[in-house]
Structure 1
């Protein structure tokens, strides 16, 4: 779907623009990077060129990182482009933001009795023509013959064998240009394979046919352009095959996709989440450089990277100051004149604009965007509640507003109470037949949430509405509920049943732009001001992490949440619409400011 054309900066200029800064080389203190708080293991002791690492536990091992940087500089030659036939001296961003953290971060392994790389998975998301093929080829060659792995199997794959060859062929050219590698490695052309007879290792380009790739045991697997993969079968086949390796590396690199419901979109969205919260997946390295599409995304970048001079200064795709972030090679081996020419063409043609946004700015060309940044959500924890009853007792007798989002009889239903101090309390119900399905999608967490009382499981294949009515009636007695806003999709019988039991005032609503814009804007304001308290509810967090928003092409200020495809994705967001309904009810219940407060009193 075509993206909205933007030829001027957004009207909300104060929130959406940032003063330009003079660019400089970013200095990175690798020892301050987030890592697990682990002191297990002896002193590292890894030594290279007289430099010995004296750290222990999870740490950045500088000599290990030095080894990879030296491999590039001393053994590899650029195969093509402006730097052809010169030594592969890594650019500052390649060295300090990808290679050094990826290969230098280590953790003690009890299984192997040694320090191993912490990152076993890596995702790199950036615009095209930023030197990814050469970088991937260098990594593949290092993993083939310099990583200390006997009988290493290294593979690269893409949408088809031809595309995979674009990653493999630069490696063969590097080998030819390097006397040491050319003597050591053998190129078997008819099967696109490089062989290291010294270690019994090989590097090979393979097609993206998961059914024929189940017998591999990869030490390294490189997947190029994830957006072209139809599903996750190949990735899973390779990842499960790497289980016997000491320190495998699964590396995916891609530009943004246009299909928000695809495997590629899920892959990129997960990288976004890890960028926000590295503790989410300590084994997953991410390097994500995308042009933001919304003010919320832009402000998130400013929060996560407060001192980066190359950050976008606005949402304007034609402002050259915004091109450096999605194009880290800009100004070195990526020509700005080429981008200027493409931008000029894109301004005159919507199809060209979409291509420029996707491939040059690494922007998802879609009206659907992820809504809630997890750093904002985490900042609104206030306290970690051991159980939902702990929150319930703490707020007993308080005034509040309710929001009810009923699903079909076969799925999850949510009820939220919002209190004047911003505290939010959820109830979730689900038929027991759905629990195993949602548990699979959440790596077993959903069953834990049921066991710990965050979700109420009802017997049978369909949800027990009487249990829902009983719990809402109990909350009505426990709190002073002003009203309950509900989705009219639930139907008149639900309203009648709740009203009959509780005499609560029920307000009909829906998830259209008309009804959702105001509460979504208010909820985002509360999140940014830390005026919400969710007490670490894990189910609500899962849903907040999943929810997406949509705006009309001609009016980005109008909002509504997007219901996910439950059968295909396993995602659920019910707790967020129910919270929005409660916010809507609270907004209705807030006293309007007095005219004397706004205009003063005439004397």
Structure 2
């Protein structure tokens, strides 16, 4: 572990000593009147009254009755729709109430335009790890903005990466409405267009797609954008913000976990919220609630400086230390299970492919979109008997059924071909132009040249690959093994496919290296690597091992379960991964299995 990973908080004064952690519900002691706000005395006495309590403050201030109204709306009208708190009253957790709802709805400023006090915050950004109750909280806010905020003809919208994801925010609101007799009597659900309608005020709440081109005519009183990290750009956000200009006190609310794309709309959005959290004067209209695991010592010390004496702050940079989990997971210990987080941590700690997902979605930490995929411990454990030569492997597997995978490169680089057998055995062929060998030998300490000399790689004469050599070798394997089919990258070129079919009459199956086609075989390969049943044996192929040690995985920003293999920058590293996509193509074929016979063949009507 790096020195940074063990950095500890400096000693504190006795008054600031960290209290002992417990699983009891934490009581936040917050003086909302001391929160930073613009130094404005404009406006008369507030006078807002709720349940006999009247606000007598003036200028920019925290209006307690306004905040009370929203808190009571949750507690008295809303029922938790699901989870551990299902069918109980929605009593806000202390952090939800005092760190989000009360400041967001209680802070007001005088508006010269409207001649009254309005909400100070027209924009809000909430950044926290997943599974912390964001859907229920957002649904409650949406319902309040629909029926409790006093806006006529209010338009409330929620959007996400797609309509299905937006539905995850919208549907809990529908369930809350149905569980509340008051709201059920007042609101109408139009299911086919995902809309809740309040006919009393001619207002509606609707889930919309994230296609900004079709969302330019709205005048939102409230817009909720779920998972900013999944948005390709700021087009939708800007369309909604500009559309809200005619509203008295609009609320543009975005909630998200950290992104993996360092240069993106999501990254800039989160970074701006970070800056506002540190310096509220930067954007007095912007509410920022950011809870994430720091990446380095500077970020850690910044948190200690901004939030002194907060017991839930991280104590180090160690992602596996449970003391560091509470800050990015404010619901931990209440409705977020500590045990579930522990189980995820155990899996992530032993599986490189899951570590980034744990850091990003469970600790809300910004990580790289690309990560190393295969642990060499797993790979080495699936060696089987070490083959002295490639021909030794071919001799052992001769006559057996298998599936092929072909990853063709340009004429100037490495091409790989893999055969996967029912017993889990894997046989590779590699071809490369002879002129490229010295370059890769230099990057591998001379090993690449040794692999060529030992027969693990075939170097063809000249500066480009001799495709006839590839065709000849595949034809040789066709005669030696019972190849069911060959899955190949469709970008390899139609002439190559035609020539292989012409020579062998083998079935060639198109594929590619997209998330859709790569996720299943990548999951299957990882399953076999972890299996105790010896479902994969590569016989210590040194070229394949070099590539397995190099290959990285990439996932979409919002879905760590979808995968595709990627290579490091070739020009900078001299590394190659071609044998792994070839193996994945072959695995894809083996997962499809044998071609199904037609009913006429099974009846003996066709030979």
Q: TM-score range by the shorter chain?
A: 0.5 to 0.7
Matching residue of 1:21:
19
Distance 1:40 1:137 in 2: 34
1:345 aligns with one of 347, 362, 365 = 347
1:134 aligns with one of 136, 156, 167 = 136
Distance 1:308 1:314 in 2: 14
1:245 aligned to 2:247?
yes
Aligned pairs for 1:195-594 (under 5 A) are 195-366=197-368
8 A Cα contact 1:44 1:53, kept in partner: yes
Deviation at 1:11, TM superposition (A): 5.2
1:147 aligns with one of 127, 134, 149 = 149
8 A Cα contact 1:175 1:181, kept in partner: yes
Distance 1:311 1:14 in 2: 10
8 A Cα contact 1:137 1:171, kept in partner: yes
Q: Give the gaps of 5 or more residues in structure 1.
A: 1-5, 369-603
1:10 aligned to 2:5?
yes
8 A Cα contact 2:4 2:297, kept in partner: no
Deviation at 1:47, TM superposition (A): 0.3
Distance 1:310 1:297 in 2: 15
8 A Cα contact 1:75 1:178, kept in partner: yes
Can you list the C-alpha shifts for 1:32-68, whole angstroms capped at 9, x where unaligned?
0000000000000000000000000000000000000
8 A Cα contact 1:186 1:196, kept in partner: yes
| Alpha carbons of structure 1 residues 181 and 14: separation in structure 2 relative to 1, 3 Å | closer
1:110 aligned to 2:112?
yes
Can you list the C-alpha shifts for 1:224-244, whole angstroms capped at 9, x where unaligned?
000000000000000000000
Deviation at 1:108, TM superposition (A): 0.2
Deviation at 1:14, TM superposition (A): 6.5
SS in structure 1 at match of 2:368: coil
| Alpha carbons of structure 1 residues 56 and 19: separation in structure 2 relative to 1, 3 Å | closer
Matching residue of 1:448:
none
Distance 2:111 2:301 in 1: 38
Distance 1:155 1:337 in 2: 35
8 A Cα contact 1:31 1:59, kept in partner: yes
| Alpha carbons of structure 1 residues 302 and 247: separation in structure 2 relative to 1, 3 Å | same
Kindly name which structure, 1 or 2, has the bigger radius of gyration based on alpha carbons. Answer: 2
| Alpha carbons of structure 1 residues 12 and 317: separation in structure 2 relative to 1, 3 Å | closer
Distance 1:229 1:40 in 2: 39
SS in structure 2 at match of 1:243: coil
Deviation at 1:258, TM superposition (A): 0.3
Q: Give the gaps of 5 or more residues in structure 2.
A: 371-607
8 A Cα contact 1:20 1:313, kept in partner: no
Deviation at 1:307, TM superposition (A): 1.8
| Alpha carbons of structure 1 residues 359 and 16: separation in structure 2 relative to 1, 3 Å | farther
1:31 aligned to 2:33?
yes
TM-score if structure 2 supplies the norm length? 0.58
| Alpha carbons of structure 1 residues 55 and 19: separation in structure 2 relative to 1, 3 Å | closer
Deviation at 1:7, TM superposition (A): 8.7
Distance 2:318 2:224 in 1: 33
| Alpha carbons of structure 1 residues 297 and 16: separation in structure 2 relative to 1, 3 Å | farther
Distance 2:118 2:242 in 1: 18
Distance 1:14 1:200 in 2: 54
Distance 2:7 2:20 in 1: 24
8 A Cα contact 1:16 1:299, kept in partner: no
Can you list the C-alpha shifts for 1:97-120, whole angstroms capped at 9, x where unaligned?
000000000000000000000000
Distance 2:188 2:6 in 1: 60
8 A Cα contact 1:120 1:250, kept in partner: yes
SS in structure 1 at match of 2:5: coil
Deviation at 1:22, TM superposition (A): 2.0
8 A Cα contact 2:9 2:315, kept in partner: no
Q: How many residues align?
A: 363
8 A Cα contact 1:16 1:314, kept in partner: no
Deviation at 1:340, TM superposition (A): 0.3
SS in structure 2 at match of 1:343: helix
8 A Cα contact 1:123 1:287, kept in partner: yes
SS in structure 2 at match of 1:159: coil
8 A Cα contact 2:6 2:316, kept in partner: no
Can you list the C-alpha shifts for 1:511-546, whole angstroms capped at 9, x where unaligned?
xxxxxxxxxxxxxxxxxxxxxxxxxxxxxxxxxxxx
Deviation at 1:8, TM superposition (A): 8.5
Distance 1:38 1:187 in 2: 43
| Alpha carbons of structure 1 residues 11 and 125: separation in structure 2 relative to 1, 3 Å | closer
Can you list the C-alpha shifts for 1:72-103, whole angstroms capped at 9, x where unaligned?
00000000000000000000000000000000
| Alpha carbons of structure 1 residues 53 and 166: separation in structure 2 relative to 1, 3 Å | same
Distance 2:369 2:138 in 1: 32
8 A Cα contact 2:8 2:315, kept in partner: no
8 A Cα contact 1:120 1:283, kept in partner: yes
Distance 1:163 1:11 in 2: 38
Deviation at 1:351, TM superposition (A): 1.7
| Alpha carbons of structure 1 residues 273 and 355: separation in structure 2 relative to 1, 3 Å | same
Distance 2:132 2:172 in 1: 14
| Alpha carbons of structure 1 residues 174 and 11: separation in structure 2 relative to 1, 3 Å | closer
8 A Cα contact 1:176 1:182, kept in partner: yes
Q: Which runs of 4+ in 1 moved over 6 A?
A: 16-19
Can you list the C-alpha shifts for 1:16-37, whole angstroms capped at 9, x where unaligned?
9997532442211000000000
8 A Cα contact 1:122 1:252, kept in partner: yes
Distance 1:351 1:19 in 2: 38
Distance 2:132 2:9 in 1: 31
Distance 1:64 1:359 in 2: 33
Distance 1:301 1:199 in 2: 44
| Alpha carbons of structure 1 residues 20 and 240: separation in structure 2 relative to 1, 3 Å | same
Deviation at 1:350, TM superposition (A): 1.5
